Structure 1
């Protein structure tokens, strides 16, 4: 006895095909809404934080960019050439506006860069990053009495932070300050009797 033949129902088949088509169109529509192909700036060569961004470090490319991703449009390429990298830039990444410091290249006229060797106990637990404004405060000798008045402090701006690969508890923080202040900071840093106070954080400014 042969098996009964299944009767095809053209109406249901047509409905199924229509649902597939509608689902596909909906997916395309959602992709179009939540993403967009743009001409943007691409990093093609690594740039260290605090270094000037050169024309050879950047290129223009087409990229699909989601609505929550901030990028530098291709039309602003000339504006970022010669600017300073706020954070390390990696080849292959799209350039973000937050990764570029505003203003002229550092240190600039009348300013100098000085490196301060610091331990974890000499700076905020959250660390420091390029663009942070800090106060470098004089501290007493280890085990000495705390000062009775307000200790001397020199303002500076963080240029870059380099951690010792052999000892992650120690970092060299390059800071920018007026030339005379930079000389004083160099002398103070050599004694180790300093502490860094974070006055204005780049990351906190961005969150606000």
Structure 2
């Protein structure tokens, strides 16, 4: 059996019907719940182009490095300067691995034993690659040549020194009477330096020179008098 509501309960129900839901007054969902649209990204053409260029450059450098490593060859080079006419020793030569320009023709490392013992046909600068044109198997002295040693005082040769391969002239200096030794003796003879060594504690130098075979006796006679000097001519060839 249902219990009839009291007058107070009826009054309370009527008051509740007259009130509205606060959310109904506000309306749809509050603005704080609204999702903001994503920001628009600005395109920067210069930045994109720079990025693409950097990627391409990196790829190019990688290809170049790979190609360089593959094209590098083991060839012969000299540690220190070897002058023309000097015998090439094992200590003069080293093996290096470099990328070789097609225009160059350096000797491969396999030619090491064939190079040692030969002479330099021209000056080879320190660090320079050795080519076939720069070495010679010619013996010294060669045909039609003679080698003569001349002992010289410090003032009888250039102060800046002589090098193998230098073109010099052996000049007969005047005697006590201001005359040359003999009319038949030449006053100067062209020669090529093939060796320089110390001649003693007094500062003398012994210079080995190549001269024409028929002039060797005159040069030996000039050297024996001790009245000779060496004149260095141009080193340009």
Equivalent residue, structure 1, for 2:226: 192
Instruction: Point out where structure 1 has 5 or more consecutive residues left out of the alignment.
Output: 1-20
3-state SS, counterpart of residue 163 of structure 2: coil
Task: For 2:220 and 2:124, locate their aligned partners in 1 and report how far apart those are by CA, in whole Å.
Answer: 25
Match of 2:171 in 1: 137
Bigger-Rg structure (1/2)? 2
- List alignment gaps of at least 5 residues for structure 2: 1-54
**Alpha-carbon shift at residue 204 of structure 1 (Å):** 4.0
Where in structure 2 are the equivalents of 1:1-208 lying within 5 Å? 37-42=72-77, 50-53=85-88, 60-63=95-98, 72-74=106-108, 77=111, 83-85=118-120, 96=130, 100=134, 104-141=138-175, 144-145=177-178, 152-164=187-199, 166-167=201-202, 169-199=203-233, 201=234, 203-205=235-237
**Higher fraction of strand:** 1
TM-score normalised to the size of structure 1? 0.56
Q: 1:35-74: per-residue Cα shift (whole Å, max 9, x none)?
A: x944321469xx9974544899867542479xxxx99442
Hey, what's the Cα distance between the residues in 1 that align with 2:192 and 2:227? 19
Structure 2 counterpart of 1:4: none
Is the 8 Å Cα contact of residues 80 and 100 (structure 1) preserved in structure 2?
Answer: no
CA distance in structure 1 between the aligned counterparts of 2:155 and 2:137, rounded to whole angstroms: 31
Higher relative contact order (CA 8 A, sep 6+): 1
- CA gap of 1:126–1:145, structure 2 versus 1, over 3 A, is same
* TM-score, structure 2 as length reference: 0.51
Give the direction of change, closer, same or farther, for the CA distance of 1:88–1:124 in structure 2 (3 Å limit): same
After superposition, the C-alpha distances for 1:88-138 in whole angstroms (9 at most, x for unaligned) are 999xx66556x9466833211121111111122112233221111111111
